[in-house]
Structure 1
Amino acid sequence: MPSPVPVTRLLPRDFGLRLGALSSPLSRHAGASTLRVPANDSHGKLARRLWSSVVQWRELRGLEPIGSGGFGSVFKGTYFGETVAVKHVRRARNKLASRQSFWAELNAAHLRHDNLVRVIAATTTTTTATRTLSEEREDGEGHVGTILMEFAGDLNLQQVIYGAAEPLPSELCVRYAADIARALCHLHAHGVVHLDLKPANVLVSRDGVCKLADFGCSLQLGLDHEARAREIGGTYTHRAPELLKGERVTVQADIYSFGVTLWQLLTREPPYGGERQHVIYAVVAYALRPDLDREVLRRSAGGRACADLLSRCWSAEPNRRPSADELIPELRAVSELGFKG
C-alpha cells in the first residue's frame, strides 16, 4: 500500500476522527458543476473543508502541460469528469526546500473561499498509470508529491497586466485588488500567510474573478517557524523589508506584497529596474519603493486615494500597514471616488 499524505495534516481540530473511507473522496452530484465532498452525519458543514489524501489515478485523464516552475510542472486534465489543474512537485537540488514547498502548498488546503484556488486532493505517492506524470518525474527518486486543484483559469494576473494592448480600466484594477484582499482576509483569519503574493500567482477566471494560488512559500503562523524565517522564499521585488532582513514573519508581509501588486495593476510597469542585490539593499536601507509619481495616481480623487493606500501598504513598519480587513472598505471608497479627473 502507498503512504498517503496524513489526512489530519491540516484538518480543523474539531473535525473528529470519524473520517470514513478515503478511497473515493469525491463524487459528482446530479446537475452539479463542481466536485463535491459527499456529506454524512460525521462531516456536517465541515465536509466542505475536506481535501483528500488519496488520488484516484484511474479518474485522472487527458493531462496536458500548461506551465512549469522551480519545483515542478502544472498540467490540465479531468478528474471525475471535471476540469482540474495537477501540480507535480519534483525534487530540486535543494531537497529540503522542495519538500517544504510541497507541504506549504497544503497550508490552505482546508480552506474554502471564492478567491482562493481550492485543493481537491494531494498525495506523496507516484503512479505509472499516468504517462505524462511518469515521463515528467522519470523515476520515483525525483518525485515529492502531486496536488490536484480546481482549474481556476487559463490566465494569471501577470499576463492580464502586461499582455493586453490597451491599459486596464482603473475600476477593473480596483475590483481585481478587492478580490485579492478578500483572499488575504480569509487566509489571515485562519493564521496563514502567503508570502509570495504577486501578479503571476493570481489566476483570473473566465468570469473575471481573481483567485490566489501557489502556496509553496506560505506559513501557518503559530507554529515554530522562527528558525525558518531566514529561509523563506518568495520574489524579491514583492518581499517585505522585514523579511529581506530575516525578521519575524507576520501577516503584514502579505500587505506589502499586495501594495506592489496593486501598483503594477494601475501602472502596468515593473516595480523596479536594476540588479537584484542593488534593489534589495535600497529597499532595506533607503526605503526604495515603486514610484508614486504616475499620472494614474495623480489625476483623480480615486488615484490619489490609491497612492495614499499604497504608501501605507509598503510602510517599513509592519504595524503601520492596514490589515486585510481594512483594505476592503478602503478599496470600496477608492471606487466611489472614481478615476475621472
Structure 2
Amino acid sequence: MHSLEDLNTGKLHGIRRLDLSCGLTEFPRAIFELADSLEVLNLSGNALSSLPDDLYRLRHMRILFVSDNDFIELPACIGRCEQLQVIGFKANRIRHVPAEALPPQLRSLILTDNQIDSLPEALGNCAHLQKLMLAGNRLQRLPDSLARCQRLELLRIAVNQLTGLPDWLLQMPALAWLAHGGNPLSPPVPAIDVLAIAWQQLQLGEKLGEGASGVIQQALWQRPGQDPLAVAVKVYKGHVTSDGSPLDEMAACLVAGVHEQLIRVEGRIADHPEGRAALVLDLIDPAFINLAGPPSLESCTRDIYPTGLRLEQDTALRIASGIASATAHLHSHGMIHGDLYAHNILWSPQGECLLGDFGAAAFHPRAEQAAMLERIETRAFGILLGELLERCELPPGDPVWALQEQCVQADVMQRPTMAEVKQLLAASLELKLTARNS
C-alpha cells in the first residue's frame, strides 16, 4: 500500500500500479503526475463519491478498482478512458449505471454488492466483455442487448430480483461460468435429512483457511460413545460474496450428497454460539493441493497454473474423469456448480481429486432450461480438460482432444452432457491402461 505523502512528494514517479487506501474523500490530483506510467489504479477502501471529469488523462490506465467507497452512480468519466479494460466498484451504494460509463475496451466489470436495479442497453456494445459480476444487487431483468456480447464467459447474477433466465442468455456461445442462485427464480431448496452436531462436541484447532464465504478450522469431534474424529468446521459468513449467498452455498453442499470426488459433509451445527450457519466436513489429507490458482487481472477468466507443471497422461485423465463424474452427479441432483475451475480442485500426484467451493452453485429454476444450464457447465469442463491435456502431452489426434472440442463448441445444445463425458473419459482411460498392461 502506498502513502499519500509519497505520492505528493513525487517519490512514486514512474510506477505502474498505485494502491491508496487512507480515508480519501477527494481524488488526489497528484495522481495525474503518474499519467506517463500508471496502468493500475486501486482506490478501494476510501470514502470517495466522485472521480474527476478529466480522468481520461491517465491514458495508460487499464485497471481501475474503487471498491468499498461511497459512490451512488458509476462515474460517466470512466467511459472516456480509452485503454480501460477492468473496472471494479464492489460494495458501494451504486444505483445507476449510465451508458456513458462503459469504456470501449471493457473486458471485466465488477459491480457486486450495490443497489442497481437496471443496466443500460449500451452494455451490449461492449464487444470485448468477458466477465460481468453483478451479485447482490436489485436487478429484475438483464438487458436483451447483452446477447450481443459474444465473448462473455463468466456471469454472476446471484442474489438479485430476477424472476427468470432469458433463453438468449443460455444460448450464448462462450458462457461457461454462471451463478444465478438466491433470486426469486430459484426453486425451494429440497429438505435434507442431515445429522445435527452439537457445538459442545467440537474442540476447535488451527485455522485452515478463510474465503469470502466463511472460515475453516480443524477440529476434534467427540462423537457420543466413540473415539474423537479429526474434522474440518466451516462457519459461514452472512454477507454476499462475489458468487452469491454463503447460505445458498451451504444448501448446495448438503443437497449434493455423497460422491467420491466431493468433500463429505458429516453434519450441520445446530447451536453455534453466535447463531451462525456451520458445517462439519471431512478433514482433507494435506497431500492434496490446489491444481491451479485463480485467474489474474491479465488472464481475466483463465486460471494460473504453476510454472512448468507437467502431468502424466494417466494422472490428467484420472483428474478429468473424476471431475466429470462429480459434475454429472451434481447435475443429476438438479444443480450446477457454477465455478468449475482448476483452482477449485484439490489433487494428488496419483490422480485423486476433489471438487470444492460451492459458492456459485445453483439449482435449476425450470426443468425445460436444465439441459442448457448443464451444457453451459460442459463448456467450463471442456476448458478445464483442454488445460489438463496441454500439460500431459497427449498427441493431437487422440480421441480425448475430439471430446474436448465437442465440449467447448459454440452451439450449446450440441455439447455432450456431463454424464456422456463421464462415460467417454472412463472408457478412454480404461483403454489406455489396458494397452499399457498388455
TM-score (norm 2): 0.45
Shift of 1:325: 1.4
Preserved CA contact (<8 Å) 2:237 2:246: no
Q: CA-to-partner distance for each residue in 1:228-263, whole Å, 9 max, x for gaps?
A: xxxxxxxxxxxxxxxxxxx99611222111112222
The whole-number CA distance in structure 1 between the counterparts of 2:372 and 2:206 is 37
Out of 251, 261, 266, the residue aligned to residue 115 of structure 1 is: 261
Give the number of the structure whose residues are more often helix, by fraction. 1
Structure 1 residues 95 and 171: CA distance shift in structure 2, 3 A: closer
The whole-number CA distance in structure 1 between the counterparts of 2:339 and 2:351 is 22
1:88 has 2:182 as partner: no
Quote the residue 1:239 is aligned against: none
Quote the residue 1:71 is aligned against: 213
Say which SS state the counterpart of residue 251 (structure 2) adopts: coil
1:212-251 matches, cutoff 5 A: 212-222=355-365, 250-251=373-374
The whole-number CA distance in structure 2 between the counterparts of 1:205 and 1:56 is 33
The whole-number CA distance in structure 2 between the counterparts of 1:182 and 1:151 is 21
Letter in 1 for 2:383: V
Preserved CA contact (<8 Å) 2:238 2:246: no
Q: CA-to-partner distance for each residue in 1:148-205, whole Å, 9 max, x for gaps?
A: 2112333344259945966110111001111111111221112121111112222336
Structure 1 residues 324 and 10: CA distance shift in structure 2, 3 A: same
Preserved CA contact (<8 Å) 1:101 1:217: no
Structure 1 residues 121 and 166: CA distance shift in structure 2, 3 A: same
Letter in 1 for 2:387: Q
Letter in 1 for 2:236: V
Give the root-mean-square deviation of aligned CA atoms: 3.7
Say which SS state the counterpart of residue 64 (structure 1) adopts: strand
Say which SS state the counterpart of residue 308 (structure 1) adopts: helix
Quote the residue 1:158 is aligned against: 291
Preserved CA contact (<8 Å) 1:107 1:215: yes
Quote the residue 2:428 is aligned against: 334
Shift of 1:9: 5.4
Percent identity of equivalent pairs: 24
The whole-number CA distance in structure 1 between the counterparts of 2:405 and 2:241 is 38
Preserved CA contact (<8 Å) 1:180 1:211: yes
Size of the aligned set, in residue pairs, is 230
Question: Which runs of at least 4 in structure 1 moved beyond 6 Å after TM superposition?
Answer: none
Quote the residue 1:318 is aligned against: 412
Preserved CA contact (<8 Å) 1:104 1:216: yes
* Structure 1 residues without counterparts, runs of 5 or longer: 1-7, 13-49, 128-139, 227-246, 269-294
TM-score (norm 1): 0.57
Shift of 1:10: 3.4
Preserved CA contact (<8 Å) 1:152 1:205: no
The whole-number CA distance in structure 2 between the counterparts of 1:51 and 1:145 is 14
Structure 1 residues 64 and 249: CA distance shift in structure 2, 3 A: farther
Preserved CA contact (<8 Å) 2:345 2:353: yes
Out of 175, 190, 196, the residue aligned to residue 10 of structure 1 is: 190
Q: CA-to-partner distance for each residue in 1:100-121, whole Å, 9 max, x for gaps?
A: 2322332241422222222222
The whole-number CA distance in structure 2 between the counterparts of 1:223 and 1:121 is 29
Quote the residue 1:185 is aligned against: 328
1:145 has 2:277 as partner: yes
